[in-house]
Amino acid sequence: MSALRILVPVKRVIDYAVKPRVNKAQTGVETAGVKHSMNPFDELSVEESVRIREKKSAPGGVEDICVISAGPPKAADVLRTAMAMGADRAVHVDVKEGEDLEPLTVAKLLRAAVEREKSNLVILGKQSIDDDAAQTGQMLAGLLGWPQATQASQVRFEDGNRVLVTKEVDGGVETVAAKLPMVITTDLRLNEPRYASLPNIMKAKKKPLVKLSLSDLGVANERRLKVVKVTEPTPRQGGGKVEDVDGLISKLKELGAL
Amino acid sequence: MSCSSRLTPVLRRTIAPCLLRSANASNCVPCAARRISSTATRRLRTSPRRCAKFTTDTYPEIKRDPRFAQITKEHVAFFRELLGKDSALVDGVTADVSLEDMEPYNGDWMRKYRGHCKLVLKPGSTEEVSKILKYCNDNMLAVVPQGGNTGLVGGSIPVFDEIVVNTSRMNKIRFFDEVSGVLVADAGVILEVADQFLAEKGYIFPLDLGAKGSCHIGGNVATNAGGLRLLRYGSLHGTVLGIEAVLPDGTIVDDLGRLRKNNTGYDLKQLFIGGEGTIGMITAVSIHCPQRPKAVNVAYLGAESYEQLQQAFREAKNHLSEILSAFEMMDSYSQDLVYKVRQNKRLLEGEYPFYCLIETSGSNPTHDSEKLEAFLDQLMTEGIVSDGVVAQDETQIKSMWAQREGVPECLGHWGGVYKYDVSIPLSDLYRLVDETRERIEKAGLKGDTDEFPVVEVAGYGHMGDSNLHLNVAVRRYDKRVEEVLEPFVYEWISKVNGSISAEHGLGIAKKNYIGFSRSETMINLMKQIKALYDPNGIMNPYKYL
């Protein structure tokens, strides 16, 4: 079996635990001064790649784990985090703040990166928690003409470049098999990502990080969709508290339930 | 309303089989009784609630003060009339109240203290508190002011049949100034509710502690709680700007100032901060709240020795200075127990004798992480810490804090905890834990099986404030353990000029040991103050001094 060259795309998004707020112009959510971190699904892909290496689960071994992110200069932070978790090197594709890429553009960009890095396995999150598009992995597989296994909850390797992927479906699990090269998208139960340890954070600082532009990869940021308006969900009608049984009964009467 | 009078008796009847048994009953209501009385959802509760021993059994030397009157029907009628509605009082004097309804006011969460209280009053305003206290004072009825009941020394638990005056209905935020950050709120506001209110305005409550979801800010101030961020925001003696309290004679002490500076006469509000409800009951608090930090970083480190931990603390002050907001230490015993109870993944790969949690809070994430990185870099290159992890997102920050905040709860997993909350000069701080463990082991009290009362002796605490929590996790409270621990611990602390109560207060647990930390002159001065404001001694009796 050929040695694995894994490409792991990661995205810097508003932290999962932060409540996003719509900006005043209603064109998007407020990002300035808001805590950002790695898309949780991407953490799973980084963790899985590192585990494949550590557990030696691929018969051919892992030759290279390269993480890639397209975004503003701050995106380098999540690349360093990924390298602290165990990735070997990083590629940062510079995109100006506010110039978001659509999934198809990201997929095209990743196709170019796959060719550039000679990757034979792409592990990526099934979706990013900011736009929830959940399209990139599938489009990438289409562009490359590779098999895809989506929403992986378990990844196993067999001889002869065969990969078994278990995915959780309604009411059970489904296991699919494909041959490398292939695309896998990750789901929440795949693993539990590790913490970035101090020694590894320091090592990560010395790992190579290459900067590229969109044009280096032969891609332009074409947008097919226009955001018309972003609004908050309608606030929930809050419940009321009553002091005692009498209060409850009069409230129910008032509402015509009694 | 016609139907309400028909409905209330029905409700009473369903509760009736679950009568509060005679006061000297030592165990809980039998399961059968609970099953009859309970609704479907309650029946789902599987683990039988373990009840604490009555405080009067644990401390047989405490006798009910004969000056205090017994609560009569007339008294209850007065309070019912005053409060105006049934939901504002839990009446076990003239009516039958189920144990489950009364127990939350009669016991603490550690199951260490339990009173014989038969009447709980929940006033809705300061005026009502004033009328209640005046009536109690005139009729010699003893009173225990109570908030969220999360105290650790039994300060909010009645001993005999004192009337509990609970602040839970006084829960309004009265005022907030978005420019100065001054918050005025009722005593019964839950700490987390106040903090969430402030979060929306960009401010933070200057106090944070593990019990934030249930403790009341009035109770926090009455115990002068210290908590996790004292290092950064200072003690409540500094942040509380004013207090509204009620004296036993009904006088409303309206000192709800909103000024940071006010040098006009004696600062009497300080007597109520940490006064544990012995001279009056706090009904509202005015407090200065700092700006909420925009950037928070957390690191969790492992060290080989206590000396290294001290070095790390020095370096932390050196490198992080103004952004350092917490430096918490935990020994391996406390951390191992948390992993054992919660069965979660270890934060660090290796195991170390000591761990610390460092938090920075600032306004500029780039600046803060630069500082933190330089600090951690030095710790690693100089070998001061052996390993560590840095939180990369909010979720990781929360799970690291859970590893520290979860210690008290997890130590209680086996049945009980002997808690000592002490201030000791940093250089001696951890030696107390080692020596205590040695004594317990030598006495043959510690082991893995059920015949040994002690599970483990653990130490953790706010290293930044020289505040150690010495905890002895036990399977049951046992006189033999107590004899090994006391007065040994107090004498030890007295020898190194420490304090026997850093932030938990005196309550009933440390009443007899105050002499280890305060001179006789000081204690006499305190007694004079008590006698001045509470001449009848009705406020929180049997405790404090």
pLDDT the model gives residue A32? 84
Pick from A16, A33, A81: CB nearest B395: A16
Residue A178 has pLDDT above 60, yes or no: yes
DSSP assignment letter at B516: G
Helices and strands of chain A, counted as H and E runs? 6, 12
Nearest to A81 by CA among A195, A210, A213: A195
List of long-range contacts for B480-486, beta carbons under 8 Å, 24+ apart: B480/B443, B480/B445, B480/B453, B481/B418, B481/B440, B481/B445, B481/B453, B481/B454, B482/B418, B484/B439, B484/B440, B484/B443, B484/B445, B485/B418, B485/B420, B485/B436, B485/B439, B485/B440, B486/B513
Nearest to B358 by CA among B435, B437, B300: B300
- Span B62-72, pLDDT tens digits: 999 999 999 99
A-B contacts at Cβ under 8 angstroms: 71
- Span B224-257, pLDDT tens digits: 999 888 989 999 999 999 999 999 999 999 999 8
Under the banding of pLDDT at 50, 70 and 90, the label for residue B50 is: low
Token pair belonging to B404: 């520290």
Cβ of A1 under 8 Å from any chain B Cβ?
no
Nearest to A7 by CA among A217, A221, A224, A218: A217
Least confident of A37-51, B73-87, B269-283: B73-87
CA distance B367 to chain A (A): 13
Cα-based distances in Å from B171 to A190, B192, B256 = 45, 12, 16
Measured CA to CA, the distance from residue B469 to residue B430 in angstroms comes to 10
- Span B461-496, pLDDT tens digits: 999 889 999 999 999 988 899 999 988 999 999 999
- Which residues, at least 6 apart from A149, have a Cβ–Cβ distance to it below 8 Å? A163, A165, A167, A176, A178, A182, A183, A184, A185
CB B6 within 8 A of CB A245: no
Are B394 and A17 a contacting pair at CB < 8 A?
yes
pLDDT the model gives residue B45? 34
Pick from A18, A195, A244: CB nearest B389: A195
Token pair belonging to A238: 């809050």
Are A198 and B3 a contacting pair at CB < 8 A?
no
* Helix extents (H) in B73-151: 73-83, 99-106, 126-138
Cα-based distances in Å from B271 to B131, B443, B502, B533 = 22, 42, 17, 11
Residue B529 has pLDDT above 60, yes or no: yes
To test the contact with chain B by mutation, choose from A31, A83, A198 the residue with the greatest count of B C-beta atoms within 10 A, namely A198
Measured CA to CA, the distance from residue B242 to residue B182 in angstroms comes to 10
Pick from B3, B85, B390: CB nearest A198: B390
pLDDT the model gives residue A238? 81
Residue A141 has pLDDT above 70, yes or no: yes
To test the contact with chain B by mutation, choose from A13, A43, A78, A197 the residue with the greatest count of B C-beta atoms within 10 A, namely A197
Rounded to the nearest 10 degrees, what angle do helices B2-15 and A245-254 cross at?
140
Average pLDDT over residues B18-45: 34
pLDDT the model gives residue B29? 36
Q: Could you tell me the domains of chain B?
A: 7-25+294-405 (3.30.70.2190), 42-166 (3.30.43.10), 173-288 (3.30.465.10), 412-487 (3.30.70)
Token pair belonging to B336: 């191992």
Are A16 and B391 a contacting pair at CB < 8 A?
no
Beta strands in A105-246 (DSSP E): 121-125, 148-158, 162-169, 172-179, 182-186, 196-197, 209-213
End-to-end CA distance of chain A: 73
- Span B102-111, pLDDT tens digits: 989 999 887 8
> Which residue of B lies nearest to A247 if distances are taken between CA atoms?
B4
CB B136 within 8 A of CB B40: no
Measured CA to CA, the distance from residue A65 to residue A6 in angstroms comes to 5
CB B145 within 8 A of CB B540: yes
Token pair belonging to B89: 């009082």
Under the banding of pLDDT at 50, 70 and 90, the label for residue B20 is: very low
The number of residues making up chain A comes to: 258
Phi and psi angles of residue B538, each rounded to the nearest 5 degrees, phi first: -80, -15
